[in-house]
Structure 1
Amino acid sequence: MQETSTETTSGVTLIDQIRSRIISGELAPGELIPETALAEEFHVSRTPVREAFKVLQMEGLVHIRPRVGTYVHEPTRREIVEMFQIKESLEGLAASLLARRGAVPELEVLQRNIDESDAAAAAGDAARYAELVGEFHWTLVRGADNDKLTETYAWLMNQLAYDRLVNSTVADPKRLTASDREHHRVLEAIRDKDPYGAEMAMRDHVHASSRAALHRIFGDAGPRPAPGDPATGTTTDHTEEK
């Protein structure tokens, strides 16, 4: 039996496997992660499983309770709000940087993504649309051509378990349609080489997404509406009441 390595026979590490299950929602927030079952599944001792848990705890994905077990971290409302605030800033910056770059390959990838997203939205295919959402956001971030931004964004997306949140929010047809329109506005500003407009469009999109996510999780209205939110006509700022 493999005693110390956290790499599985397929070359994928235990850390990657467990992280993926948490982010996808296969392991739900608050769920006890079965240490012995994982060791048996991947044909390793419990030692590498525990080492993987330590790494994932540093990433904020699990919480180790001595003599009790390891649980998937269940973020508080405040934590989710704060992570979305950072996401809003990072993606707003990414959109602004991409708008400054001119005609780069990422623009055509984004356009194809939006074309496919339109089709998924028209068909009411929430699962496919959720996949395209992830592609859209990651293409935009990578298109900013800023390695430190990309690294920080990857860490944040893991903590936020964003794929799970997207699948939940776009299950609402109204949110799916609104999200699709928001993506159009972001790309239009980027193509117009309007850094400020692109940043504001992206910030408003992420803010709207955060409101939808908080409503799905906690049943509240989420953060206050963004400036000029067409759904409310409000002119409040982005400040979150905590």
Structure 2
Amino acid sequence: MNRAKSEPKNGSMQATVIAEMRRRIISGDVEPGASLSEAALAEEFGVSRTPVREALKQLQTEGLVEIRPRVGTFVTVPSRREITELFEMKELMEGAAARLLAQRGRVPEIDALQRNLREADEAVEQDDRERYAALVQEFHDLLIAGSDNSKLQAHYQVLMNQLAYSRLVNTSLSQPGRVSQSDREHRLVLELIMEKDGDSAERIMREHVRASRRALLVGLPIDGRHEGFGEASS
């Protein structure tokens, strides 16, 4: 009886640990390559090691941590090749989303994207890169939501988690001229979507993602690891 009562609690705590550790990794609060201690996390969250261990296993399946037997658990540090492959998938998904949204007509996401672009223009004028980076993420999220495809949205969220995109976008935008170029590309994509030109919207969106990837890779250290991202985003 007691065991039956404890299972929902353990499951709830495991979900809490997963959600919070996922947030910390994606946001960059926990640095890539950082060691994660089961004992320390169990103490912090006030639980036994079991829900922490299971949470870390789940985060490993999401590509966010790496569990090395008899060594420890570490926040994943993707290589340049892995980042390139993830961006190739991002390109496919966002291109498809642009096409799908163009086919839907005037839906609420269109109004939200227009508002996003107005705010982005202001951020560019004020040279507020931090604000613009947040608006970039919102633009892409709105595009995916506008596809009205739940499977695409689910796979895209997993991909964004693996990319820890909030850190990468700052590195991409640190390249000279990239902010204003990105803003123009977003505007062109939305214009094509509003014209219901799905073919062109998909093509331009894919070109935009490739341009972002090129800018990102220029800003990465030669070994492709995340060290130095904090400086790039400051």
TM over 0.5: yes
* Secondary structure of 1:140 counterpart: helix
- 1:172-191 alignment runs, 5 A limit: 172=175, 174-191=177-194
* Secondary structure of 1:44 counterpart: coil
Instruction: Say if 2:15 and 2:55, in contact at 8 Å, map to a contact too.
Output: no
Q: Deviations over 1:178-201 (max 9, x none)?
A: 111110111010011100110011
Are 2:206 and 1:203 aligned? yes
Q: Give the counterpart of 1:136 among 123, 134, 139.
A: 139
Shift of 1:34: 2.9
One-letter code of the match for 1:205?
H
Greater relative contact order (CA < 8 Å, ≥ 6 in sequence) = 2
One-letter code of the match for 1:72?
V
Q: Give the counterpart of 1:82 among 65, 82, 85.
A: 85
Which residue pairs with 1:192 in the alignment?
195
Instruction: Say if 1:6 and 1:14, in contact at 8 Å, map to a contact too.
Output: no
Q: Give the counterpart of 1:217 among 212, 216, 220.
A: 220
Shift of 1:71: 0.4
* Secondary structure of 2:177 counterpart: helix
Instruction: Say if 1:27 and 1:33, in contact at 8 Å, map to a contact too.
Output: no
Shift of 1:122: 1.0
Which residue pairs with 2:116 in the alignment?
113
* Secondary structure of 1:26 counterpart: coil
Shift of 1:49: 1.0
- Tell me how far apart the structure 1 counterparts of residues 141 and 22 of structure 2 sit (CA, whole Å): 18
The gaps in structure 1 that reach 5 residues or longer are 221-242
One-letter code of the match for 2:199?
Y
Change (3 A) 1:14 1:135: same
Which residue pairs with 2:226 in the alignment?
none
One-letter code of the match for 1:5?
N
Instruction: Say if 1:124 and 1:173, in contact at 8 Å, map to a contact too.
Output: no
- Tell me how far apart the structure 1 counterparts of residues 132 and 217 of structure 2 sit (CA, whole Å): 20
The gaps in structure 2 that reach 5 residues or longer are 1-5, 224-234
Identical counterparts, % of pairs:
56
Which residue pairs with 1:171 in the alignment?
174
Aligned residues: 217
With normalisation by structure 2, the TM-score equals 0.87
Q: Give the counterpart of 2:40 among 26, 37, 42.
A: 37
One-letter code of the match for 1:153?
Y
One-letter code of the match for 1:211?
R
Are 2:27 and 1:5 aligned? no
Q: Give the counterpart of 1:103 among 101, 106, 122.
A: 106
Larger % of helix: which? 2
Are 2:161 and 1:161 aligned? no
With normalisation by structure 1, the TM-score equals 0.84
Are 2:49 and 1:46 aligned? yes
